[in-house]
Amino acid sequence: MISATLDLQKLLRHDNAIVIVCLTLAIGFSWLYILAGAGMPMDMSGMMMARLDWDVGYSLLMFFMWWIMMVAMMLPSAAPMILLFAFLNRKSAKGTSHNIAAFIAAYVFVWGGFSVVAVALQWGLEESALLSPTMISADLIFGGVLLIASGVWQLTPLKHACLRHCRAPIQFFAQGWRKGAGGAFRMGLEHGAYCLGCCWVLMALLFYGGVMNFWWIAGLALYVLIEKITPAGHWVGRGTGVLLIVWGLGVIYPAI
């Protein structure tokens, strides 16, 4: 009996290590991709100007660029939720590794949906000349409005309802646990939807600071992590909202 218990504990630790390694590899490879692309010097405007037309191939390329970027930016802050799910899944009677994979896949799928919308917005902004060839806001009014809108969203009740969910994973699982891989996938979709509600406007700020600007991408990812996992995350969100509004007004003022 004791031997069987020890074997089970070893298996659980081994399973937990596999989840951590997989998350680390996914996040690491995603950031390497960003470094390879977004790390290009932004003065290479001639090369950016010569990029392909918006055909199917180029659209797919932009989609995967956005999707991988979302994985790099959002998986670190989702890791505590994923690890807690893996732990609770192992404790359940029908918990399998397929459930963990389904939960993660659903979360990533949600950000894939966001990436589709982001690509459509990128196309529209480029066609309207609001986005420069280097994928940075090319209009003061547009940039200022984007900053102000992001700041206002940070102060809304819906934003903070989504943030509370992301900061309270135990409560989410206690109230909405579902069995099997199908249930895990649905929970992953639900968590991804809350996470999207919390951060979608912040991700839209990539259109202001630069879709290919590595330091802007890294700064937003770090901010999301701080907002979700630090004790003062709610106050950080509110303070950032006020700062974004002031920043946006400062950007718009010279253009008035």
| Residue 173 DSSP SS3 | helix
Domain layout of the chain by residue ranges: 2-255
pLDDT band at 206 (very low <50, low <70, confident <90, very high): very high
CA 89, 92, 97, 99 dihedral sign is negative
Nearest-angstrom CA–CA distance, 193 and 172: 13
Q: Which residue has the higher pLDDT, 52 or 212?
A: 212
Nearest-angstrom CA–CA distance, 154 and 157: 9
DSSP string, 182-211: HHHHHHHHHHHHHHHHHHHHHHHTHHHH-T
What token pair was written down for 80?
């505590």
158-169 pLDDT per residue, tens: 999 999 988 888
DSSP string, 23-86: HHHHHHHHHHHHHHHTTS-TT-HHHHHTPPPSSHHHHHHHHHHHHHHHHHHHHHHHHHHHHHHH
Q: Which CA distances in Å does 16 have to 19, 20, 22, 204, 227?
A: 5, 6, 10, 34, 25
What token pair was written down for 126?
């480029």
Examine the pLDDT at 15 and tell me if it is beyond 70.
no
* 38-42, 138-142, 185-189: which is most confident: 185-189
What integer pLDDT is reported at residue 41 of this predicted model?
Answer: 45
Nearest to 247 by CA among 132, 151, 141, 130: 151
Share of the chain above pLDDT 90, in %: 50
What token pair was written down for 250?
């400062």
What integer pLDDT is reported at residue 177 of this predicted model?
Answer: 86
pTM: 0.85
